[in-house]
């Protein structure tokens, strides 16, 4: 898991995608501090195609650290989805966005979710595409 934390600091070079992570307030999960949303935007001049057999976010990982910088994420976020049994393709035209709710601490075991400040970084990687979000602070009371 420590490798994940290091990899998030390496920016994507000429990536066709931008990955954004933000809090969701009152839309899907109510006022939960762990309710979030990920957005992928195609910033290239060509269409981007992402193959998946579970969900477009199967290629998403959330790297969650506590205030001390310890990585708490225990599994790849994308494994929470079930397989379809066939491959599908998400196609994003230039400027098009794909947005979906996420649990900002969704890959942190419940016993590690104690009151405090956490930092979540979304890393979306599929084939040669790689997009890393800005860090997002999550505060648990």
Question: Residue 85 has what pLDDT?
Answer: 86
Query: Is the pLDDT reported for residue 129 higher than 70?
Result: yes
Question: Residue 12 has what pLDDT?
Answer: 43
> By CB neighbour count within 10 A (0-12 exposed, 13-18 middle, 19+ buried), where does 59 fall?
buried
**What CATH code is assigned to 2-136?**
2.60.40.2360
Task: Give the whole-angstrom CA distance, residue 16 versus residue 101.
Answer: 22
Question: Residue 45 has what pLDDT?
Answer: 96
Tell me the pLDDT tens digit for each residue of 38-66: 999 999 999 999 999 999 999 999 999 99
Query: Is the pLDDT reported for residue 17 higher than 90?
Result: yes
The chain-wide mean pLDDT, for the chain, equals 89
Residue 79 φ then ψ, to 5°: -80, -5
Domain boundaries, the chain: 2-136
Query: Is the pLDDT reported for residue 32 higher than 60?
Result: yes
Nearest to 88 by CA among 37, 126, 129, 131: 126
Question: Residue 27 has what pLDDT?
Answer: 56
When computed from its CA atoms, the radius of gyration of the chain, rounded to whole angstroms, is: 15
């Amino acid at each position: 898991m420590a490798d994940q934390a290091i990899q998030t600091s390496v920016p994507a070079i000429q990536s066709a995608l931008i990955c954004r992570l933000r809090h969701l307030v009152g839309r899907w999960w109510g006022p939960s501090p762990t309710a979030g949303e990920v957005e992928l935007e195609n910033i290239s001049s060509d269409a981007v195609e992402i193959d998946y057999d579970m969900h477009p976010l199967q290629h998403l990982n959330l790297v969650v650290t506590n205030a001390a910088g310890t990585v708490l994420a225990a599994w790849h976020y994308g494994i929470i989805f079930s397989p379809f049994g066939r491959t599908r393709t998400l196609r994003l035209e230039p400027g098009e966005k794909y947005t979906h709710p996420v649990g900002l601490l969704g890959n942190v075991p419940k016993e590690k979710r104690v009151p405090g400040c956490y930092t979540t970084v979304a890393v979306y990687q599929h084939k040669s595409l790689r997009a890393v979000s800005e860090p997002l602070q999550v505060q648990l009371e």
